[in-house]
């Protein structure tokens, strides 16, 4: 059973389009995250949610809107895609917010904006 | 704010030898957690090992051990008996503090390890 799953795995789209990435975890975790990995492999937090509540929005443009319909899901919607949005997006989850809890990562979604 | 520094963009090691990947961190919070993740060429992020700031002993997980030197703010990963499958990007990361600060991992830039046969 996949612990953290993301769909789609690959996403190729034109500039200006709107797209969504879905994330689900079946670990019963309270906290979920979105990270962006750029072309130089640098990973940076975008959003954190705890029990469906937004906790961190790390200076992400308004074009990015996360939505957590329940504790097990955290989706990412991106409006008006730009070339600079091309990256790998990772969803992750942890048991809760305490610092000693490892984060389990999904397989990533490679977004290419043409 | 937390910061992780990995100064080795790339490392090479012979199969069956040990290798140390360097990581230094910076935080003013007394409570923090340090993590190492492995990212093979297939792209997934694999958790390797965790060290808490109040842990008295260095963490170990199989062939992985974390050389935690609190005064120097370093958390180096030691891989013993390297295998070809260890070739990957390795990331050091941390969480720190209370409240909102804990709700994220801050990553270093990574070290690309290549194991030679």
- What are the tens digits of pLDDT across the range A27-39? 999 999 999 999 9
* Banded pLDDT at B98 (limits 50, 70, 90): low
Query: Which residues of chain A neighbour B88 with C-beta distances below 8 Å?
Result: none
Percent above pLDDT 90 for chain B: 87
**Nearest CB to A105: which of B44, B97, B103?**
B44
Pairing between strand A43-50 and A53-57?
A: antiparallel
Q: Is A39 on the interface with B (CB under 8 A)?
A: no
Q: Cα angle at A2 between A28 and B79, to 5 degrees?
A: 100
Q: Report the gap between the CA of A108 and the closest CA in chain B (Å).
A: 7
HSE-CB for B33 with a 13 A CA cutoff: 18
Torsions phi, psi of B99, nearest 5? 65, -140
Q: Are B45 and B37 in contact (CB under 8 A)?
A: yes
8 Å CB contact of A102 and B50:
yes
Ranges of residues in chain A with a pLDDT under 70 are 1, 99
Task: Report the DSSP beta bridge partners of residue B36.
Answer: B49, B92
Query: Which residues of chain B neighbour A66 with C-beta distances below 8 Å?
Result: none
The label of the residue with tokens 């997006």 reads A89
Q: Is A95 on the interface with B (CB under 8 A)?
A: no
């Amino acid at each position: 059973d996949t612990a953290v799953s993301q769909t789609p795995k690959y996403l190729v789209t034109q500039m200006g389009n709107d797209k969504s990435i879905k994330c689900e975890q079946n670990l019963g975790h309270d906290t979920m995250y979105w990270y962006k990995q750029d072309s130089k492999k640098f990973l940076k937090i975008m959003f954190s949610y705890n029990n469906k509540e937004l906790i961190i929005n790390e200076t992400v443009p308004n074009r990015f809107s996360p939505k957590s319909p329940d504790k097990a899901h955290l989706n990412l919607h991106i409006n008006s895609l730009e070339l600079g949005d091309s990256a790998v997006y990772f969803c992750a989850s942890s048991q809760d917010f305490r610092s000693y809890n490892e984060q389990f990562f999904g397989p990533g979604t490679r977004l290419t904006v043409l | 704010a937390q910061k992780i520094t990995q100064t080795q963009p790339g490392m090479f090691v012979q199969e069956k030898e040990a290798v140390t990947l360097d990581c230094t961190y910076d935080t003013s919070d007394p409570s923090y957690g340090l993590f190492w993740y492995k990212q093979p060429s297939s792209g997934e992020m694999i958790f390797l090992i965790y060290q808490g700031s109040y842990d008295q002993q260095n963490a170990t997980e199989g062939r992985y051990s974390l050389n935690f030197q609190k005064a120097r703010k370093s958390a180096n990963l030691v891989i013993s008996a390297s295998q070809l499958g260890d070739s990957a990007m390795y990331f050091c990361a941390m969480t720190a503090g209370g409240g909102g600060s804990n709700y994220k991992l801050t990553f270093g830039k990574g070290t690309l390890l290549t194991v030679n046969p």
